[in-house]
Amino acid sequence: MAAKNWSFRMTPTRAVLMALAAIGGALMVYRLVVGLGPTTNLNDQWPWGMWIGFDVLTGVALAGGGYSTCLLVNVMGIKKFAPIARAALLTSLIGYLLVMVGLFLDIGRWFNFWRPFVSWGHTSILFEVFWCVSLYTTVQLLEFGEIATEKVGKRWHGIFKKILPVLLIVGVLLPTLHQSSLGSLYVIEVGKLYPLWWSLLLPIFFLMSSFFVGPAMVSLESLLSSRATGHKPEYNILQSLIKVAGYMMLVYLVLKIGDLFYRGAAGLVFAGNLEGNMFLLEMIAGIIIPLVICFTPKLRNSKAGLATFSVLVVAGVILNRMNVVFTGMSDYIGGSYFPSAIEWLVSIGLVAMGVLAYLFIVENFNIVPKEQHEAETDKETAAVKHTA
Amino acid sequence: MSKAVLVDITKCVGCGSCGVACKMWNNLEYRKESPMLGKDSKLDAENWTNIKLVETETGAEKQSIWRFVKNQCLHCEEPACVSACFSKALQKTKAGPVVYHANLCVGCRYCMIACPFDIPKYEWGKVIPRIRKCQMCPGRIKEGNSPACTEVCPTNALTFGEHKDLLKQARATINNDKKYVQHIFGEKEAGGTAWLYISDVPFKELGFRTDVTTQAVPHYTESIMHLTPAVGLTWGALLTGMYVYNRRRNTIANEENDNKKGK
Ligand code: SF4
Ligand code: SF4
Ligand code: SF4
């Protein structure tokens, strides 16, 4: 057997990340030992807080880059995006694993986590979310198996290659279902969630935004990891990728405006209250400005433009989820909720764990295209031909 | 048949007997910091019912008056909490009560989010918390008794009986006596509830959620859920089609390339 050559460079940033991850990990254990009351600021008015709003809802949305890239590359066959497909898959996989951890921490009776599988409470949107997210995480693990077995357990590689087409299709189907379901979760808040956000179209809005945040996340990640690892980002690819996002955002914007008028809620946008202003911020900074960047070739083709676009879109989607969970609910619920220190530290710890895992895997597996990337794609097309 | 309770707010004197009976029957703790009777009373894990004092004004002279509103789970005919529970820990029984089974519960709290009246509460202080709310004393109903709280009410502000009959009785009362407002709270709210209220003071002033939808809340999500299989199948078929098509196209393109190279 060949030497496996695991490597993990230590840098000051990584040391900080490790410390944060360790603190987060310790607090997670503490949370399981003492319960939710002493560790979070949740209460009967605010039963869902940061862990659901940020770690789960936002986490799943931001991990949308995995399925949107997969759809473009593997299903629609747009091969020019292929070089970033693996990185997108990896982020998505790590994202989902973190979401699972976040969910597990948030449920009070965690030893019952398997119940819904057998109880079959199929009238609940949460049921659909639960099934899809667990299945999709499994599918992604298997998809990653195809990458991992290039290095470890090589004799399984053939099997993974064979089942890959099925995995890829299921791996696009499931996220489509649960990304939208996460929006449907809030449909039950009829009359509670502020009309700027409540709509029967919530599932469609959640789905579309998870799709267009994908390219932004992938770009952001490529820009960041190019600094960390020294690989040069594939600018051309990223620029055409965000154009795809741009078209989707355009449709989203039109649909959103149409929906507001249809429901007679358009007047609330300029009401000047907290909700109206947050909504404006979300739409202008998160959608309209990025759209301008995206469809002005000069801006799109500059590195700064690409970075700004990505940051704004990601921030916009985060803000959108936060608005649904917090801003849009605060008027109805009254009272206030601000996450406790432990809620923050656990969330930060989770992100730190994710970043570390990403860096480790990128260093040790074939994720980002290297010099031999030409050869790799050839091998891949050959394999595709072989399975065909 | 389905049982119900009619609450006549004009008859309640705020004695709090129902609250005491509820605590005793269900073994609930008394907590000084969380009273079940009065202005600051509210529902929580140990208060499955509370009797809230509401001060409001009436008539042309704006005379100040007191009313007492007994809160508890309304036991909706089509409960949002039941439809929201992916673990079937909340179940609507034939007799009317919406009952919680802790052994099935995951503790996700989606029921708390879903309930249009914000009834389910949580044991935040416990390591392994439960959802807590009025169960409508299903054990007592099964044995042919009335719920503990209705049993002890000295003024007949709480009447237990068949849903149909109580609705008729409520209608007759508000029609025959001018002092009542022409509204039976719970007849249409959230698609209809087992607990019904009549009052001489507008419900809004008493803190009732009068803007609640009259559609059964689960219908909103069901309309989406029912679409899921069809959307899933179509989308799946579409994806497979695209995949196969593009793979073929690639193969052909590659073969052509090979041919060219070969020549
Ligand atoms: S009032 Fe709330 S908790 Fe009670 S049955 Fe209706 S939805 Fe469920
Ligand atoms: S907290 Fe328990 S009862 Fe409520 S929805 Fe979740 S699993 Fe069901
Ligand atoms: S019906 Fe039973 S559980 Fe509900 S408030 Fe009355 S006594 Fe308490």
Cβ–Cβ of A108/B109 closer than 8 Å? yes
The count of CB pairs under 8 A between chains A and B is 175
- Looking at the structure, do residues B7 and B65 belong to the same domain, yes or no? yes
> Does residue B147 carry a pLDDT above 50?
yes
Q: Tell me which CATH code domain A42-337 carries.
A: 1.20.1630.10
- Looking at the structure, do residues B53 and B169 belong to the same domain, yes or no? yes
pLDDT tens figures, B204-223: 999 999 999 999 999 988 88
**β-bridge pairing B195-198 and B3-8:** parallel
Would you say residue B99 lies in a domain?
A: no
> Does residue A341 carry a pLDDT above 50?
yes
How close B155 comes to chain A (CA, Å)?
32
**Residue B92 Cβ < 6 Å to ligand 1:** no
Look at ligand 3, atom 1, and give the residue with the nearest C-alpha: B136
Of the listed ranges A164-168, B39-43, B257-261, the least confidently predicted one is: B257-261
Which of B99, B103, B106, B217 is the best mutation target for the ligand 2 pocket, counting ligand atoms within 8 Å of the beta carbon and taking the most?
B106
Q: Which two tokens stand for residue B174?
A: 């508000």
- Looking at the structure, do residues B190 and B248 belong to the same domain, yes or no? no
pLDDT, average across residues B34-63: 91
In our burial notation (b when 16+ CB lie closer than 10 A, e otherwise), range A4-24 reads: eeeeeeeeeebeebeebbebb
Would you say residue B224 lies in a domain?
A: no
> Does residue A382 carry a pLDDT above 60?
no
> Does residue A87 carry a pLDDT above 70?
yes
- Looking at the structure, do residues B166 and B239 belong to the same domain, yes or no? no
> Does residue A384 carry a pLDDT above 70?
no
The model's confidence at residue A340, banded by pLDDT at 50, 70 and 90, is very high
Are the beta carbons of B219 and B191 closer than 8 angstroms? yes
> What pTM does this model have?
0.90
pLDDT tens figures, A1-36: 445 678 888 888 899 999 999 999 999 999 999 999
Q: Residue B48 is part of which domain span?
A: 3-77+134-218
The model's confidence at residue A373, banded by pLDDT at 50, 70 and 90, is very low
Please tell me the predicted confidence (pLDDT) of residue A376: 40
Averaged pLDDT of chain A: 88
Number of domains in chain B: 2
pLDDT tens figures, B37-48: 999 999 999 999
pLDDT tens figures, A240-272: 889 999 999 999 999 999 999 999 999 999 999
Range with top average pLDDT, A116-120, B125-129, B238-242:
B125-129
How close A201 comes to chain B (CA, Å)?
10
Please tell me the predicted confidence (pLDDT) of residue A378: 42
Would you say residue B32 lies in a domain?
A: yes
Are the beta carbons of B33 and B156 closer than 8 angstroms? no
Would you say residue B188 lies in a domain?
A: yes
- Please report, for the domain that includes residue B155, its CATH number: 3.30.70.20
Q: What is the 3-state secondary structure (H, E, C) of chain B?
A: CCEEEEEEHHHCCCCCHHHHHHHHHHCCCCCCCCCCEECCCCCCCCCCCEEEEEEEEECCCCEEEEEEEEECCCCECCCHHHHHCCCCCEEECCCCCEEECHHHCCCCCHHHHHCCCCCCEECCCCCCCCEECCCCCHHHHHCCCCCHHHHHCCCCCEEEEEHHHHHHHHHHHHHHCCCCCCCCECCCHHHCECEEEECCCCCCCCCCCCCCCCCCHHHHHHHHHCHHHHHHHHHHHHHHHHHHHHHHHHHHHHHHHHHHHHC
* Nearest Cα residue in chain A from B123: A37
SS3 A43: coil
Are the beta carbons of A183 and A206 closer than 8 angstroms? yes
Would you say residue B168 lies in a domain?
A: yes
- Looking at the structure, do residues B205 and B237 belong to the same domain, yes or no? no
Angstrom distance (rounded) from CA B73 to CA B85: 16
The ipTM of this complex is 0.88
pLDDT tens figures, A169-208: 999 999 988 899 999 999 999 999 999 999 999 999 999 9
